[in-house]
Structure 1
Amino acid sequence: MDKEPQKAGTKHMSTPIERKPDWLKIKLTTGENYKELKNMMRDKTLHTVCEEAKCPNIHECWANRTATFMILGDICTRACRFCAVTSGLPTELDLQEPERVAEASEQMGLQHVVVTSVARDDLADGGASIFAATVLAIRQRMPFCSVEVLIPDFMGSESSLRTVLDAKPDILNHNVETVERLSDKVRSKAKYRRSLELLARSKQIAPGIPTKSSIMLGVGEEWSEIIQTMDDLRQVDCNIMTIGQYLQPTTKHLTVKKYYTPEQFAQLKAEGMKRGFSHVESGPLVRSSYHAHEQVKSSQRA
């Protein structure tokens, strides 16, 4: 396959996307639930990470009436080399967005809501106040609905983290994304140790709120480094871990160095459970919010 020519001004060289193994083939489901949810998102001018990040599970999740809301617009101030979300200078800050997310969650009849965002380094609090307002708006409309937040690192701001935790989400999720050696190559601005500090600080501020993190495999990590990442997460008392296969979203993004087999993902799940995580979701198509409602139950039992 020929490589695309490099366009002027693009940040990364184009690289071809390799053929995926059979176990990564996805069955598309576009029934009434999927169409209804898609229309609802457009009507309420809401964004989902399902769409923006080209999640491979979007058809399955939307058909089951579950979605991960992406607040604070759809333009990220960072340009991570694995992520398909548009990067640039954001212009959107909608103070009514939390209420619309809560209204959509109520109309969908959700029992567990996941709220994430683009990175907003242009805002003084990184968008923490909008996260908190969204959690509170969902609580007001749906007092028995659990809420998970998947937050950026807020550039290490403790006050921003406190703002989110004060809203009392049921799960605080922040992804380390990859092993420490590759972090600077794969992520933009985010630091591996700063991510661990955020998770540790969360437990210091709100010890009763379970924490969660995720890594993607296939960007050049060694097996021993994956195990070390598990140990690092447990060292800061992270409760839930998700592990999935990195898939190259476009020719401008990082190439896949390796495709892990379902059997290898099963091995990693066993390794994680052995280390004391309350729940490990591990599989080729697993993403941070995949089966999130089941992870809440596991955490509560633990």
Structure 2
Amino acid sequence: MISAPIQSEWLKTRKRPLTLWVTGILLVVVVLYPPFMVGLSKICAVDTSQGLRIMIGTPPKEMSSIAQQMRDQVTLPDVIVTTLGVAASVSRLLMVILGAMLAGSEFAWGTARHLVGRTRDRRAFVGGKLAVILGLTLLLLVAALALGLLSGSGLTPVVRDRVTWDFLTPGLFLRLPLALLFAALTVVPYALLAFTITLVTRSTATGLSLGLLTLIIGEPIFAQILASLPAPWNELVYYTPTACIGILKGWMGTLIGGAAPDHVGRSVVVLLGYSLALAGLAFASFRQRELTA
């Protein structure tokens, strides 16, 4: 029961050399990324009167004390915003994996069939799966937010006598659901990317590999290339998901009374456009498959 789907997926993947290359590159990145980040964390820059000095090793004591002072000034509203941003980042990685797996999961097909009323329309199944993706995204964000606030890394270090509860206003409770939806909007396009690639290529490994490579490497490099272009072409960087996500994260800072950044509406429209385009491609792929079946 378990070996048959794995064998089928391997046979589909083995026929696509590009998939094997992409999967191999992904494995190399995953293996090398943690030690690279550990080594990078040992590098600190100190601005001195002689200029910028790069040091490798343990940061000086004065830098550690400054970091401790910054941690001591963190308040509970700050933790809400920070935790929500971290939850969205982690959820993007998880939903790329889940998006690819959902495209080939018979269990997910059964869930989709139940959502759309037990219809036999395969395109309706795709709609049901998209609903599953959105539901899982919101569930992950809410769970991560709750765990982050209640764990030692969230609520415990910042609850002191000096912290007041004045920020618990009706406006906060009205904004928090909207912030959750915006956080979900920063996650869903990546899940749909892996989901759609899996449907088009009929290979879960391809959808998973290309989705993760786009998230970890492809999009950041593409955004840097756009930002380095001469004006006005460098303005195109603001239409990348990375830039839109940064703007929405800044909007989440309004939970603690800050001013909303510019272009929030544009970022919402861009991310919605990416999501709808990928969903439309998924539907079109299934329609073409039905016509040629």
Q: TM-score, normalised by structure 2?
A: 0.27
The structure with the greater share of residues assigned to helix is 2
The structure with the greater share of residues assigned to strand is 1
Q: TM-score, normalised by structure 1?
A: 0.27
